[in-house]
Amino acid sequence: MVLKQRAKVQALPGCPMSKCMGLLGGLWTPELIWALNDGARRFSELRRDCPFISAKVITSRLRDLEQRGVLSRRVMPTSPPTVEYDLTPLGRELLPAIKSIVEVGSRLLLRDKH
Amino acid sequence: MVLKQRAKVQALPGCPMSKCMGLLGGLWTPELIWALNDGARRFSELRRDCPFISAKVITSRLRDLEQRGVLSRRVMPTSPPTVEYDLTPLGRELLPAIKSIVEVGSRLLLRDKH
DNA sequence: CGGTATCCCCTATGATACTG
DNA sequence: CAGTATCATAGGGGATACCG
């Protein structure tokens, strides 16, 4: 029998949706990116903006997004330490899609009420 | 690139993004909805359109989306059986957001090449 | 044709506690 | 302030076989 080498979920190369969803992967990722809509934020600010996301997950997503080139991380040599996260141009390209998601969500919520 | 598994979205009632992402939940869900963009499709057509999604997952997502009111399932009394899936008005509301995702993805792919 | 049934892995997320 | 470490878990997803 063949050892099951579990195939990882691969994005189809050249598939637009995979390309974008790869960046938005993770349950809270869009929320985090959205929180950077108005400019750079510090870690504690993000925690306050997204109190429903645990610190661990925030860190994890931020690291991931940093590596994918979606956002940048700047450590300032202060005491206590200050760290700022900001969207890169690539990250900013994702905003229209996220905005669309928020807008649709809003309309759906309105519909629910009526 | 490895796509992330998406965790289940249920938290935060009343939050637009959760509302929308709840419907788009599931790694392959947007692809499926997108496949219904041009009208009703049969199960086997969806399988052909999305050969990278296993039958199990297609079924699972379709059932889920049906229950959430995103799409409808129509069984025709033929032999062999014929089943048609189609977007509901609610499902059609999601298309702009998905379109946005596709568009961003396309632009990102173009960028990669240059 | 349009699915189920099984089995099993994997990863994202949570909760809690701790640190330079 | 800005994280790590550790332990635990649900459920998504893959592969394969089988069914009315």
Which of the residue ranges A3-7, B39-43, B83-87 would you say has the lowest mean pLDDT? A3-7
Which of the residue ranges A8-17, A26-35, B71-80, B88-97 would you say has the lowest mean pLDDT? A8-17
The alpha helices in A25-54, defined as continuous H runs, are: 29-35, 43-49
Strand C nucleotides with an atom less than 7 Å from a protein beta carbon: 1-6, 9-17, 20
For B99, nearest residue in chain A (alpha carbons): A97
Mode of pairing for the β-strands spanning B41-42 and A82-87: unpaired
Q: Which of B94, B98, B104, B113 to mutate to test the interface with A (most CBs of A within 10 A)?
A: B104
What beta strand segments (E) does A1-114 contain?
Answer: 41-42, 71-76, 82-87
Give the mean pLDDT of B43-53: 94
- Helix axis angle, B95-113 relative to A16-24, nearest 10°? 100
Say if CB B20 and CB A101 are below 8 A apart. Answer: yes
A-B CB pairs within 8 A amount to 128
As a residue count, chain B comes to 114
CA distance B8 to chain A (A): 8
| Per-residue pLDDT, A8 | 39
pTM for this entry: 0.89
B31-45 per-position pLDDT tens digit: 999 999 999 999 999
CATH numbers and ranges of domains, chain B: 17-113 (1.10.10.10)
Give the mean pLDDT of B48-67: 93
- Specify which residues A75 forms β-bridges with: A83
Residue B14 pLDDT grade (very low, low, confident, very high; cuts 50, 70, 90) = confident
CA of B6 to C1' of D6 (A): 23
Residue B87, pLDDT > 50, answer yes
Nearest to B2 among A10, A20, A105 (CB): A10
Place of tokens 């568009």: B103
Nearest to A17 among B1, B102, B111 (CB): B102
**Nearest nucleotide, C1' to the C-alpha of B3?**
C11
